[in-house]
Chains A and B, each alone.
Chain A
Amino acid sequence: EAGVVQSPRYKIIEKKQPVAFWCNPISGHNTLYWYLQNLGQGPELLIRYENEEAVDDSQLPKDRFSAERLKGVDSTLKIQPAELGDSAVYLCASSLGTGSGDTQYFGPGTRLTVL
């Protein structure tokens, strides 16, 4: 079974440019997560979807970040415009649901470098 797929794996852009990341969760997983991982730190949750509904986006900087999961499967995370401080790894994870013991499975991440 395929794991969580993310693309691109690496992205280098200049500041003020837009950028988008794509995630395809494990088949059948209803819950999808976007995490931000700064260098030398653990992941921090940006947004969580249950099917197509964003149920926790309190940590998403909404002035420049947006996300969507239109059909409850794939998801896109966008930054517009990007700032130097956005350089990080953006991880996508999915789980069956949010019930007890629902394990989150992570994709390989997209490493963003903003110049």
Chain B
Amino acid sequence: GEDVEQSLFLSVREGDSSVINCTYTDSSSTYLYWYKQEPGAGLQLLTYIFSNMDMKQDQRLTVLLNKKDKHLSLRIADTQTGDSAIYFCAERPNNAGNMLTFGGGTRLMVKP
């Protein structure tokens, strides 16, 4: 089992917002990341947030960080069918070099 936990599956309708949640365990984590993986492909970096921030917005993506609860979320506005993929959150502890600890991934299915 991972130290970073995510729900396994999320289904939304095209045009709706998607919210993918993640909890992590290491309070020293300086950076938290969201990666996207499409079938048969590697991981594509979507966005990241530094631990001294509580929100970051990048076009349709909004990342919210609650350090007290060690909770990270990714909101995708106006979700499209092309957003269907597995989304991984990852934490980067402060004392672990550049090692990332990944969650198990959330599979997002977008229905037309």
Nearest B-chain residue to A107, judged by Cβ = B42
A53-96 Cβ-contact flags toward B at 8 Å (1 or 0)? 00110000000000000000000000000000000000101010
Contact of B98 among A41, A98, A106 (CB under 8 A): A98
In-complex Cβ contact of B42 among A41, A42, A48, A106 (8 A): A106
Q: Are B99 and A56 in contact (CB under 8 A)?
A: yes
Within 8 A of B (CB), among A1-38: 4, 6, 31
Contacting residues of chain A (88-114) with chain B, CB-CB under 8 angstroms: 91, 93, 95, 97-109, 111
Task: Please tell me which one of the listed residues A42, A91, A107 contacts residue B4 in the complex, with CB atoms under 8 A apart.
Answer: A42
A104 lies within 8 A of B104 (CB): no
How would you classify the secondary structure of chain B's contact residues: helix, strand, loop or mixed? loop
Per the CB 8 Å criterion, the residue count for chain A at the interface is 29
- List A contacts of B42 (CB < 8 A): 4, 6, 91, 93, 106-109
Residue of A nearest to B2 (CB): A42
Binary interface encoding of chain B residues 61-105 relative to chain A, with 1 for a CB under 8 A from any of its CBs, else 0: 000000000000000000000000000101000000111101111
Task: Count chain B residues whose beta carbon lies closer than 8 angstroms to a beta carbon of A.
Answer: 24
Q: Which residues of B contact A91 (CB under 8 A)?
A: 42-43
A-B contact count (CB 8 A): 63
Find out whether the CB atom of B97 lies under 8 angstroms from the CB atom of A48.
yes
> With A41-B105, A42-B2, A98-B97 known to touch, is A103 a contact of B43 (CB < 8 Å)?
no
C-alpha gap A107/B43 in the complex (Å): 7
- B40 close to chain A: CB less than 8 A: yes
A55: nearest chain-B partner, CB-CB: B97
Interface centre among A41, A55, A91 (most CB of B within 10 A): A41
- Chain B neighbourhood of A111, CB < 8 A: 40
A residues near B (Cβ < 8 Å) are 4, 6, 31, 40-45, 48, 55-56, 91, 93, 95, 97-109, 111
